[in-house]
Amino acid sequence: MTSTTENANLCGLNRKDFQTTINGKKTDLYILRNRKGFEVAISNYGGAICAIMVPDKDGKVANVVQGFDSIQALMETDEIYRSTLIGRYGNRICKGQFVLNGKEYHLATNDGPNHLHGGKKGFNVRVWDAKQMGPRALALNYTSPYGEECFSGEMKVTVEFTFTDDNELVIEYLATTNKKTICCLTHHAFFSLSGIANPTATIENQICEINSDFYLPIDATSIPTGEILKVEGTPFDFRKPKAFGLEIDADNEQIKNGSGYDHNYVLNKREEGELSFAARVTEPESGRTLEVYTTEPGMQLYTANFCTGKVGQHGATFPKRSAVCLECQHFPDTPNRPYFPSVVLRPEQQYKQKTIYKFGIAK
């Protein structure tokens, strides 16, 4: 059930502040509450996660995701991907161009010379049909029409959010198409494990571990060069836990290209599509931890290098490097790199993906 009063929610968000009508479709706020009483708040506008309320080592509950406190704030922000669903294609495509079935496609170039996150009006600004399935689960559905943002095929997408009693936010994706197309879905949650504040603290002292031996280097426009390089001996080696800030400003061409970390990791997998451990982040002062598990072959590590201190929920501000994004996905620019894991979706197939964000306390 969704709470109807602000005081009933740990997050302090008022459902009425998220209710409006956009192009004939109603927006709302949905509260997922587990048996421990902790919460996740999600809008059906862009699938935006507005709050994740979990405890620290002393039992103090805080919001650990950067979000907004009204539908107007969600719609009017110029940081349109903050903690939203991403599609049809997560991450970048070089010059917005690729060839599929012998046909050349030209997408919007909305990130310098390149295509980013589904275009000018991707899944992050669409109103999804929502159905809450009990106190802990929400299903969002959206049909992306043929030609939307210049993609081929009509694509039907379902994203299910479940907040378990173990403080796991489980996100499951399902997509089908009536014509051969490309599909790469993810969620762009901005995690601030210390809790959002004014200003929200830097993530540079947080300890990160990533289950990856290889990463994808990028050019000056953040497009993969096509190489797949070892993390060993580079600032990108998180195989053993280390602080983000240790090498985030290293004298390294790749760090400079991303203005910090903004790179895709090739996750270690025993077999394609297995649900396996991807990453762990620990916030040493609060003791909060975040573990990531996914079926996806890659994960984009982004350390909020381009955030500018905009105001979000309850007056919290989000400066540079005040969040970490762990976007589980296929690789950037895959349509132009045939040796990357394929993102082609055919009418006889289903796109499936599962990612788990598990919140805990360091032992």
pLDDT of residue 3: 37
Give pLDDT tens digits for 36-73. 999 999 999 999 999 999 999 999 999 999 999 999 99
Question: Residue 188 catalytic?
Answer: yes
Question: How far apart are alpha carbons 179 and 358 in whole angstroms?
Answer: 36
Percent of the chain with pLDDT over 70: 98
* Banded pLDDT at 8 (limits 50, 70, 90): confident
User: Where in the chain are the domains?
Assistant: 1-202+307-363
Phi/psi at 136 (5° precision): -115, 5
Neighbouring C-beta atoms of residue 247, cutoff 10 Å: 18
Contact 272, 352 (CB under 8 A): no
Identified catalytic residue from 115, 117, 187, 188: 188
The predicted model scores a pTM of 0.97
pLDDT of 5 strictly over 90 = no
Interval 257-310: pLDDT, tens: 999 999 999 999 999 999 999 999 999 999 999 999 999 999 999 999 999 999
The angle at the Cα of 53, spanning 49 to 55, to the nearest 5 degrees, equals 150
Q: How far is 363 from 358, CA to CA, in rounded Å?
A: 15
Q: Of 148, 247, 291, 327, which residue is the catalytic one?
A: 327
**Mean pLDDT taken over the chain:** 96
The count of C-alpha atoms lying within 13 angstroms of the C-alpha of 155, restricted to the half-sphere facing its C-beta, is: 32
| Rounded Cα gap, residues 276 and 320, in angstroms | 30
Q: Which of 5-9, 61-65, 197-201 has the lowest mean pLDDT?
A: 5-9
What is the CATH code for 1-202+307-363? 2.70.98.10
Q: What is the pLDDT of residues 146-173, one digit of tens each?
A: 999 999 999 999 999 999 999 999 999 9
Residue 200's pLDDT band, with cuts at 50, 70 and 90, is very high
The C-alpha atoms of residue 73 and residue 70 are separated, in whole angstroms, by 5
Q: Which DSSP letter does residue 148 get?
A: G
